């Protein structure tokens, strides 16, 4: 485990002994992103970040930012849909106008036409609300390209390729994430930097980011998967430090971290023992890490069994293993989603068909 991440242990809560109910990558990933078990490989429901952006009625430039991962929106407003990017250069494309620009009168006339609610399209083709979504998407696109924040994503390597007029915000972020070479910008640290800038500067309300990939290694665990994980946790630890160093955006109180809820997860875990190839295979029992102003800190909830590390039922009020109550639940992703949403003052009712249970031991 990276020291940069361990430094924040007292601010985090660890949930152990989770039942992922699958050993398939796509199913586990989409189960975690939405809190709803997929139909086959097909995701069901909205991403957690989509719900957060929608329920908070975010009016930021990019309410829901999705960095190198999937995002889903079933029935929430268009503004809450995830904007998918991989690198800082993608954010530059999202936030600034490109190519030939229309004159101001032409732009005004076009916007007036697009905003008109008395058109043939509205009268004839809006039975399912598609025209409303189309108009909302146009309005959101206008808002994004009219943003003045594109320069915040002019990421560079201070010692290699930062221009002399590089933004102080960018330089501060690059130093905080210890980005020292161009390849850092496309790796875990560069992706963490995207999340950090979007949150600290009030660009996004909700961000999902896949910090590391290439973890499905069934060979030589100590040489491959462990080192790859280390790099991801290192980037996460540096990101948390950066959020702690930045004032809350938009006139909020405290630091950005004081106003951030964090959920760290994987599709599932790996077997407790190495295989004949010195690797580890897929395992149902998993864990996750959470933090936020509405959640308790420096806490471990749940546990896995000594034999085979199988998930165990817990008492939701204490967070401790309970083998005496036949109705004691085993923690699943929808339980974590519902608990995190409640800690933020948001509603988990859209998950009702997953029968989520609130882990009250986690609530501050």
Of 41, 88, 356, 124, the closest CA to residue 197 belongs to 88
pLDDT (0 to 100) of residue 142: 59
Residue 105 lies in a domain: no
Q: In the chain, how long is the greatest CA-to-CA distance?
A: 73
CATH number at residue 177: 3.40.720
What total number of domains does the chain contain?
1
Q: DSSP 3-state assignment of 304?
A: strand
Is residue 112 domain-resident?
Answer: no
Domain containing residue 303: 3-97+142-362
Residue 113 belongs to some domain of the structure: no
Q: Is 267 a member of any domain?
A: yes
Report the alpha-carbon distance of residue 202 to residue 143 in Å, rounded.
Answer: 14
Q: pLDDT tens across 57-91, in order?
A: 999 999 999 999 999 999 999 899 999 999 999 99
Residue 123 has pLDDT above 60, yes or no: no
Q: Has residue 332 got a pLDDT over 80?
A: yes
Q: pTM for the complete prediction?
A: 0.88
pLDDT tens digits, residue range 137-168? 666 665 555 557 888 999 999 988 899 888 99
**How many other CB atoms are there within 10 angstroms of residue 140's CB atom?**
19
pLDDT value at 116 more than 80: no
Binning pLDDT at 50, 70 and 90, where does residue 112 land? confident
Query: What is the per-residue pLDDT across 12-68, written as a single tens digit (0 to 9) for each?
Result: 999 999 999 999 999 999 999 999 999 999 999 999 999 999 999 999 999 999 999
Identify whether 127 is part of a domain: no
Asked if the structure places residue 133 within a domain, the reply is: no
Nearest CA to 363 out of 342, 349, 346 is that of 342
Answer yes or no: is 125 within a domain: no
- The whole-angstrom separation of Cα 218 and Cα 92 is 38
| Joined tokens for residue 247 | 């004032």
Residue 136 lies in a domain: no
Statement: residue 114 has pLDDT above 70: no
């Amino acid at each position: 485990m990276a020291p940069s991440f361990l430094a924040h242990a007292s601010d985090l809560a660890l949930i152990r002994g989770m039942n992922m109910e699958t050993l398939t990558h796509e199913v586990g990933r989409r189960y975690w992103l939405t809190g709803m078990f997929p139909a086959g490989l097909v995701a069901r429901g909205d991403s957690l970040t989509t719900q957060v952006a929608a329920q908070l009625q975010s009016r930021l430039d990019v309410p829901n930012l999705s960095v190198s991962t999937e995002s889903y929106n079933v029935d929430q407003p268009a503004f809450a849909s995830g904007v998918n990017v991989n690198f800082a250069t993608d954010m530059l494309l999202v936030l600034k106008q490109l190519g030939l620009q229309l004159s101001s009168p032409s732009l005004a006339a076009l916007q007036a036409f697009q905003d008109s609610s008395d058109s043939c399209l509205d009268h004839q083709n809006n039975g399912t609300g598609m025209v409303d979504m189309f108009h909302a998407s146009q309005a959101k696109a206008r808002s994004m390209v009219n943003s003045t924040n594109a320069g915040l994503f002019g990421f560079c390597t201070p010692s290699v390729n930062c221009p002399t007029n590089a933004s102080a915000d960018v330089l501060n972020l690059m130093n905080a994430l210890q980005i020292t070479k161009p390849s850092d910008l496309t790796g875990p640290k560069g992706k963490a930097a995207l999340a950090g800038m979007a949150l600290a500067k009030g660009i996004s309300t909700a961000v999902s980011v896949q910090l590391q990939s290439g973890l499905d290694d069934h060979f030589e665990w100590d040489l491959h998967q462990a080192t790859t994980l280390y790099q991801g946790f290192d980037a996460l630890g540096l990101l948390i430090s950066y959020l702690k160093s930045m004032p809350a955006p938009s006139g909020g109180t405290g630091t950005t971290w004081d106003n951030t809820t964090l959920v760290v997860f994987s599709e599932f875990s790996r077997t407790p023992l190495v295989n004949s190839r010195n690797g580890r295979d897929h395992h149902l029992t998993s864990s996750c890490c959470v933090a936020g102003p509405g959640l308790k800190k420096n806490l471990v909830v749940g546990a896995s069994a000594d034999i085979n590390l199988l998930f165990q039922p817990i008492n939701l009020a204490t967070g401790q293993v309970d083998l005496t109550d036949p109705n004691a639940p085993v923690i699943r992703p929808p339980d974590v989603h519902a608990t995190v949403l409640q800690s933020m003052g948001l509603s988990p009712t859209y998950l009702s068909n997953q029968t989520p249970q609130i882990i009250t031991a986690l609530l501050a």
